[in-house]
């Protein structure tokens, strides 16, 4: 049996991957990004945690090289992914059993996820979130 993140990682190796991570809003954001690509006529492959209403399903194989995926931080499996674009909606203390009850470990895991981006990749982060702002400041200081 292949884990979801491992399957996504394999698919993403051969495509332009867009991974959506965060404590809240992943499913909605993934659906919105997918719809934008549909409207642009780019026919992406997508794998979402919930229904993409316009497509009537939560996953679909498209004809373009674009793969849009909801990235799961609940078990840190999103670290398997190597997207070209990473979208982070917000970061809160959730699934803390995975991170040994340490919020700093969770934050570092998100930083590790962002470090999977290639040098030409893009990170789209919600700066309304105070934890994301803190992470940006720490990263900029390095």
User: Which among 27, 28, 92, 98 is annotated as catalytic?
Assistant: 27
User: Which among 23, 30, 70, 73 is annotated as catalytic?
Assistant: 70
User: Which among 23, 26, 45, 107 is annotated as catalytic?
Assistant: 26
Cα separation, 1 vs 20, in Å, equals 24
Residue 32 reports pLDDT greater than 80: yes
Give the structural domain span for 68.
Answer: 4-141
Buried b (16+ CB within 10 A) or exposed e, 76-90: bbbbbbbbbbbbbbb
Q: What is the β-pairing status of strands 57-60 and 45-52?
A: antiparallel
pLDDT of residue 67: 97
pLDDT of residue 118: 93
For the chain, percent of residues with pLDDT exceeding 90: 53
25's tokens: 């809003």
**Number of domains making up the chain:** 1
Mean pLDDT of 92-96: 72
pLDDT of residue 101: 76
pLDDT of residue 84: 96
Which has the higher per-residue pLDDT, 128 or 53?
Answer: 128
CATH number, position 99: 3.40.1190.10
List all residues 6 or more positions away from 94 whose beta carbon is below 8 Å from its beta carbon: 23, 74, 106
Q: What is the largest CA-CA distance in the chain?
A: 45
Cβ–Cβ contacts within 10 Å for residue 2, how many? Answer: 9
Q: At what angle do helices 103-114 and 130-141 cross, to 10 degrees?
A: 60
Residue 26 annotated to the active site = yes
pLDDT of residue 140: 65
Average pLDDT over the chain reads: 88
Please, which pLDDT band fits residue 6 given cuts at 50, 70 and 90? confident
54's tokens: 């316009």
């Amino acid at each position: 049996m292949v884990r979801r993140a491992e399957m996504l990682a394999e698919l993403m190796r051969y495509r332009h991957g867009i991974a959506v991570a965060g404590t809240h809003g992943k499913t909605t954001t993934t659906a919105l990004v997918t719809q934008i690509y549909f409207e642009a006529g780019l026919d992406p492959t997508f794998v979402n945690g919930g229904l993409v209403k316009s497509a009537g399903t939560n996953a679909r194989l498209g004809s373009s090289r674009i793969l849009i995926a909801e990235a799961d931080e609940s078990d840190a499996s999103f670290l398997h992914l190597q997207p070209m674009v990473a979208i982070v909606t917000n970061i809160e203390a959730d699934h803390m059993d995975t991170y040994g009850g340490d919020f700093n470990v969770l934050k570092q895991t998100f930083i590790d996820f962002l470090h999977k981006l290639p040098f030409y990749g893009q990170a789209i982060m919600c700066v309304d979130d105070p934890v994301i702002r803190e992470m940006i400041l720490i990263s900029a200081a390095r």
